[in-house]
Structures are given as C-alpha cells and as structure tokens.
C-alpha cells in the first residue's frame, strides 16, 4: 500500500469511465468497513477508503466532538482540510479523477464539511445519516454538484430538522441536493444501498 498521510485501502477500478468512490466510515469503523458497501453500490469503480485519525475511547473518527451531536468545529475545519489534502495525494499516487464521497454518519459529516470548505476536491457526495458539521459554513460554490442525502425518520442521533438544515445549506451553495427520508433509524438499510446505487449511475 502506498504511504500517504492517512492509513487507507485502495481498490483499483475494473470498469473504466466510472468515478472513484471515497468511502468514509462512521465512528468506530476503519478503512475496511465500507469496502463491501462500495463494491455493492458501484461495482467496478475504484475505491479509496481512509481511516479517521481521531480516537474517541479507542474508536476511530474523522474529527473530535464535545458531546453527542456537538462538534469541535475548529477541529472539523482542520480535519476536513487534512482529508482534502489526502485526496490530492491519492489522486496523484493512483491516477484518479475527483472522487464521489460516500460517507456514513461521522464520515458523512466530514464529507459535508469538505463540500463547504474544499468543494473542488469532490465530484459529488452521498451523505448517509449526515448532520450539520459547521454552524456557520463559509460561502462555497457548489453549483451543479450532485449530492444525495439519506436520513432516518426514526434516527435517535440526528433530529430531522438538523438534516433538513444541512440540505438547505448545500442547496443555498448551489448543490443539486436529493434528500430522502426513510422510515428507519441510524443504521443503514437495504433501501439506503439501492437508492445510493441508483443515484450513482447518474453522477
């Protein structure tokens, strides 16, 4: 595995012409967690899967939080920029196009932060169980960028209005946001996979 600034896994593409996926795990996950999901939703695409650098009670995350749903926003900004720099390294090392982020929970939140802070590094994003990562995001130009958000109506961690606020922030920046709310909790369902797979065919 090429030495880059994040521990990661890379799976080369077997079908040309598909955008690579940047797979971003949730709290307690690692670089192997979402590889099976990536292969299901985008067969043949290159997969790039980094491990978050923050440890919370021994569990990897992409940025610090102060409490459940309360983020250390200075850390969010720093870590989003670090991850964006890693994407640049990986694109050069593996000769990749700009990836589409597929993030779950904490991974979705760091992807949303990158869209606002470093919009040029992502071709689009599927945000599964995301919430607002920055209370006062910078003015980003996301004109025409495709974003899928899938929220759980029964999610005990993310209030519905918080997810709607994130969708509104991204839309205001020009992103083409498709926000689905499923009758489910925080965990992923089969419907999440099929919706994401279908959305990816148009990215």
Active site residues: 105, 155, 186
Residue 44 has pLDDT above 60, yes or no: yes
CA torsion sign for 140, 94, 75, 168 is positive
Domain positions in the chain are 8-200
Mean pLDDT of the chain: 96
Q: Model's pTM, two decimal places?
A: 0.97
8-200 architecture in CATH? 3-Layer(aba) Sandwich (3.40)
Residue 168 has pLDDT above 70, yes or no: yes
Per-residue confidence at 10, pLDDT binned at 50, 70, 90?
very high
Nearest to 178 by CA among 149, 200, 142, 141: 149
Residue 112 has pLDDT above 90, yes or no: yes
Beta bridge partners of 49: 9
Per-residue confidence at 1, pLDDT binned at 50, 70, 90?
low
3-state secondary structure of 150: strand
């Amino acid at each position: 595995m090429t030495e880059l600034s994040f521990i990661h896994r890379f799976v080369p593409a077997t079908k040309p012409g598909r955008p690579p996926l940047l797979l971003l795990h949730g709290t307690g996950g690692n670089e192997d967690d979402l590889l099976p999901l990536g292969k299901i939703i985008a067969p043949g695409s290159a997969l790039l899967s980094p491990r978050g650098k923050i440890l919370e009670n021994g569990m990897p995350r992409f940025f610090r939080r102060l409490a459940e749903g309360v983020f250390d926003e200075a850390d969010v900004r720093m870590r989003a920029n670090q991850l964006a720099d890693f994407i640049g390294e990986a694109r050069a090392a593996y000769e990749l196009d700009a990836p589409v982020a597929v993030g779950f929970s904490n991974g979705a939140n760091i992807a949303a932060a990158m869209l606002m802070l470093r919009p040029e590094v992502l071709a689009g994003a599927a945000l599964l169980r995301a919430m607002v990562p920055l209370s006062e995001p910078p003015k980003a130009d996301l004109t025409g960028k495709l974003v899928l958000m899938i929220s759980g109506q029964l999610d005990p961690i993310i209030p519905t209005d918080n997810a709607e606020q994130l969708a509104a922030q991204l839309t205001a920046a020009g992103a083409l946001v498709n926000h689905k709310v499923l009758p489910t909790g925080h965990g992923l369902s089969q419907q999440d996979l099929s919706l994401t797979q279908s959305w990816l065919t148009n990215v």
